[in-house]
Amino acid sequence: MNEQSQRVAVVTGAARGIGAGVAARLARDGMAVAVLDLDEAACQGVVDAITAENPQARALAVGCDVTDPDQVEAAVARVSDELGPPVVLVNNAGIIRDNMLFKMGVDDWDAVMNVHLRGAFLMSKACQAYMTKAGFGRIVNLSSTSALGNRGQANYSAAKAGMQGFTKTLAIELGKFGVTANAIAPGFIETEMTQATAARVGVAWDDFRKAAAAQIPVGRGGTPDDIAATASFFCREEAGFVSGQVIYVAGGPRA
Ligand code: NAP
């Protein structure tokens, strides 16, 4: 694929964890990749790793808060100027503010809704303009097994269930423009997010991950690469008839 025809992907929350894994995988798949996160300097490490692996790869570090409409508009315009029109979008940025309902503050509710739902809405709205113009697009949204309900996560589970409804509506509205929208619902993936959960409940990380793995039918925790492989599938040309779907990537059928 030459530079003119190379597809451009934007991955949010890509400075680390699942987002970094997805960005690296889409670069390996031949896409130019915008590595977008709150801190542009933190994104540069992922960009450097991508270009170290393949000096021909094109990657760009972009600092942006996905909850801010002006920052999103500016970031997506910059990606278009510097890499090309973004026709692949992975809405991965996320936070947790876990607490039991009776202790959960309004700020914790709003922060989680804003990053996951408002962020995915703003990013999708900005990128769909390029996708519909190109007659091709791929949107992948990160949901979670927590969408099925999880103690201490009233805010997060509501946001992740919301991501599924959002995905299905994008699939219906954008399908006629060659744009698909799908969701990945990971189970337990070993990242800083799950390390933070272990710290919050006061369990040593190694014990926490072993206990999680014991509950998972395939007998291990997931990795960012497990999620990246599924994102890669959804973003392929040949996946154009797969839209509005949710794949649970959890090492088994249940959370
Ligand atoms: P992570 O390690 O915490 O990474 C999330 C990234 O998103 C961080 O770099 C974070 O930046 C960034 N971010 C937060 N708020 C943002 C904002 N407003 N604008 C731009 N970027 C922002 O999490 P992860 O485990 O890789 O999870 C990635 C996604 O998968 C999330 O949507 C998460 O909910 C979902 N997920 C994860 C798991 C799991 O087990 N790990 C399971 C199911 C679903 P800062 O560090 O600067 O805050």
pLDDT tens-digit map of 109-127 = 999 999 999 999 999 999 9
Confidence (pLDDT) at 2: 46
Q: What is the pLDDT of residue 36?
A: 99
Write the residue with the smallest CA distance to atom 10 of ligand 1.
13
Instruction: Give the tens place of pLDDT for each residue, 124-151.
Output: 999 999 999 999 999 999 999 999 999 9
Q: Structure tokens of 64?
A: 């942006």
Residue 3 CA to ligand 1 center (angstroms) comes to 30
At 254 the pLDDT is 79
Q: How far is the CA of 96 from the centre of ligand 1 (A)?
A: 8
* Domains of the chain from N-terminus onward: 3-187+222-249 (3.40.50.720)
Q: What confidence tens digit (pLDDT) does each residue in 171-214 have? A: 999 999 999 999 999 999 999 999 999 999 999 999 999 999 99
Active-site residue numbers?
A: 156
Q: Pairing between strand 32-37 and 246-249?
A: unpaired
Q: Answer yes or no: is the C-beta of 67 below 6 A from any ligand 1 atom.
A: yes
Check residue 56 and report its DSSP letter. T
pLDDT at 3 over 50: no
Tokens 């909850």 correspond to 67
Q: Write out the two tokens for 91.
A: 């809405």
| pLDDT of amino acid 5 | 67
Mean pLDDT of 236-251: 98
Counting every residue, how long is the chain? Answer: 255
Q: How far is the CA of 117 from the centre of ligand 1 (A)?
A: 13
The residues, ordered by sequence, that sit 6+ positions from 46 with a Cβ below 8 Å of its Cβ are 14, 15, 16, 20, 23, 24, 35, 59, 61
* Nearest Cα residue to 124 out of 112, 144, 142, 146: 142
Of residues 37 and 200, more confidently modeled:
37
Q: Is 229 in the pocket of ligand 1 (CB under 6 A)?
A: no
**For position 247, what pLDDT does the model report?**
98
Give the start-end residues of each E strand in the chain: 8-12, 32-37, 59-63, 86-91, 137-142, 179-186, 246-249
